[in-house]
Amino acid sequence: MKKIILITGGQRSGKSSFAEKLALSLSPNPIYIATAHIWDEEFRQRVIRHQQRRGRNWINIEEEKYLSKHHIHNKVCVIDCITLWCTNFFFDSTKKEMNQPSINEVLQNLKDEFDHFTQQDATFIFVTNEIGSGGVSNSSVQRRFTDLQGWMNQYVAAKANEVILMVSGIPVKIKE
């Protein structure tokens, strides 16, 4: 039976650890789809620490954009995270700023990919960030991304069976 769970919260709120524990409570061999692009050595080390923490019983997949390429029928899957996934659609390093796709185009591409991926009969545990909870950035690029992220979070939350907000390592059920 298909189920979508969204886990959201601020940076270092315990989202990923909670998602991993939840997945392990549902399956002895869950799937972990990492959407991160490795930008630098510090981030690479962070990814390695996450992989080591998860252990050998996880099936690890690295996929920056096209989640729907992966067939996870009847599996439990953590997708970590929507924020980095949005970044991969939002910014194309091969294009100049004036040639980047519009927010509406990016949002539609994300929604289409999300819908295509979640058509599978599986348990999806999406992790995301609440980046719009702080002040308004003085950077137009950051404001555009914050808008995109917020709209995508709303889209996923509307489709989710459950939404959990992590606050200082404590899960707070928002939607059941």
Q: Is 14 annotated as a binding residue?
A: yes
150 is in an annotated binding site: no
* 62 annotated as belonging to a binding site for a ligand: yes
- Residue 95 CB coordination number (10 Å): 10
10 is in an annotated binding site: yes
9 appears as a binding residue in the annotation: yes
CA distances from 134 to 7, 10, 118, 146 (A): 18, 10, 30, 10
Selecting among 50, 71, 73, 116, the annotated active-site residue is 50
Active site annotation includes 50:
yes
Q: Is 135 annotated as a binding residue?
A: no
69 annotated ligand-binding residue: no
C-alpha angle 11-151-74 in degrees, rounded to nearest 5: 75
> Do the annotations mark residue 17 as ligand-binding?
no
What is the rounded distance in angstroms from the CA atom of residue 136 to the CA atom of residue 3? 34
Residues whose CB is less than 8 angstroms from the CB of residue 109 and which lie 6 or more positions away in sequence, other chains included? 89, 101
User: What's phi and psi for 157, nearest 5 deg?
Assistant: -60, -40
- Contact between 36 and 30 under an 8 Å Cβ cutoff? The reply is no
Residue 175 to residue 158: CA distance in whole angstroms: 10
What is the set of active-site residues?
A: 50
Binding residues for GTP: 9-16, 34-36, 62, 80
Binding residues: 9-16, 34-36, 62, 80
